[in-house]
A and B are shown apart, each in its own frame.
Chain A
């Protein structure tokens, strides 16, 4: 496993590729068709979600099966706040206030839930999160004040001359990049190494003085807060949503799936995974809607069986073994 912090020289080509990629994506809406803009918009949303999930699930190994809980919380906090703010606010003012509020609300909820939930490990944590997401969804549908059953209308915040799809494309792009930068900053910090040690062996990490409890809770709060912000954005981009349209189990599962396909615990993995899955389901199989579920299922099985470490993990392993083969045998000089 590669835990050394990347030095500047080895990162240089990588930074160039990212910059060029970013530039291409910035110009893309001017060139490609509206359909592709929508697909790419979904792609950046998925990247943002998958990377946020990875901060808890990938780095510290606590796989949440219910992260859609925070998409829902963000969307409902944002939607309700937007309608409370009224029309005398500027559109962007509404958007940013709601994003902040949604993020803070999700982070606070995560903080409350984190202490009891993070004592559960493995499968039990996964299922508890799944249960909580369902519980929240039911509550949002059944409590009239929240408006989950009737649905919420979000105010139209798109600037006049801009196509809504393009507007949200840029918003999701910016959020995706910000989340990726946050994740990168975390991964190569003391905090990030602490999380990795929790993933590899929590008890040993604790014994060696890693403040596991605090690190886990921090990771969960950051991860859920970011998902909450994306949830606000997603709610706004829908324009009208009900509880089932934001508390969606497939959101939770896609976050895991994208990480799994790309490589759990890596930064680029979720991007590769989301890219492949979105391309496959939206573009290649766009016309075979009734087979989507089956193909997703088959892909999950195939990936787990053939490349359990994900695409990046498998490639890394290949490179490592090749390097080992090339090295001259050191202990052979007797």
Chain B
């Protein structure tokens, strides 16, 4: 095997993996804190991409500058969804019900996007979208490199938020022992809402970056939800580090499969690894970030 091809595949894999990690980080946080599998996560990612598309095509603002704004919108949206639909479903029936309502939500959101933006495939192409440069025989896409850098920054931001702030401490306490946290005076329902908001906000940011890096359509939401799940199953639940590790691994798996086995088999490989991981190490490589008590 020529070394150049191998290194190039590796570089591509890592750059793809950065984006995949970010797209899964919010899902991982929500899953880790509330044990809710949010099947609407992919839809949130796609909404982020469409918000970026709107700001780019209508106002001509570079989507990267819109990130704080989009995060805020998605945060509020996520908080409202959690405090109404998801919380009610969990209280009235069971945790599995959250799987169903979020799935229903995903269908509604996808259909809404279909109606507003049409089911066509779109992409956001800022001026740097088609630039690339080479070091030796290895070429780097500028836009993917920006995507990787932005993803890493956001993941570090999330890690600091979780581990270094009072808000993060509340989230971690709620994740470990909701009941004990409630006794200590934490408003658990509120924290759950905020956590879902943060998760959704990160999905939105991931959507912005995905919008710049690759084409998207409303129907991609299922793909991004599954991607998030695979990343979490690979890396482990709850921590940004787990998401990063899982995302990078998945990126490498996808590019290596596409390069050396066959481009049409990437999904098959992804699901094979998902099933094998579930069977042999369901807690992921890094384990459950909040899992001491479980």
Contact = CB atoms under 8 A, between A and B. Distances in A.
Chain B: interface size category: 35 or more
B271 A298 contact: no
A297 B271 contact: no
Interface stretch (A12-20, A115-123, A321-329): A115-123
A308 B92 CA distance: 7
Contacts of B275: 128, 131-132, 135
A63 B274 contact: no
A25 to B, nearest CB: 30
Interface in B88-141: 88-89, 92-97, 99-101, 103-108, 110-112, 114-115
Given A131-B274, A138-B267, A294 B96 contact: no
B108 A298 contact: yes
A171 interface: no
B85 to A, nearest CB: 6
Interface stretch (A30-38, A177-185, A234-242, A299-307): A299-307
B293 interface: no
A300 B99 CA distance: 11
A124 interface: yes
A124, A126, A127, A260: most-surrounded residue (chain B CB, <10 A): A127
A282 interface: no
Contacts of B168: none
Interface string B221-235: 010001001000000
A134 B271 contact: yes
The main secondary structure of chain B at its interface with chain A is: helix
A297 B106 contact: yes
A60 to B, nearest CB: 14
A122 B36 CA distance: 12
Contact of A300 (B100, B111, B262, B272): B100
A294 B101 contact: no
A142 B101 contact: no
B278 interface: yes
Contacts of B115: 290
Interface residues of A, number: 39
A35 B70 CA distance: 47
B103 A131 contact: no
A296 B107 contact: yes
A138 B268 contact: yes
A63 B110 contact: no
A293 B111 contact: yes
Interface string B210-244: 00000000000010001001000000000000000
A276 interface: no
Contacts of A294: 107-108, 111-112
5 contacts: A126-B99, A296-B107, A304-B92, A305-B101, A308-B89
Interface of A: 63, 116-117, 119-120, 122-124, 126-128, 130-132, 134-135, 138-139, 141-142, 249, 253, 256, 260, 290-294, 296-301, 304-305, 308-309
Given A131-B226, A134-B226, A292-B111, 17 more contacts: A122-B95, A123-B37, A123-B95, A126-B99, A131-B271, A131-B274, A134-B271, A142-B264, A249-B222, A293-B111, A294-B111, A301-B101, A301-B108, A304-B92, A304-B97, A304-B104, A308-B97
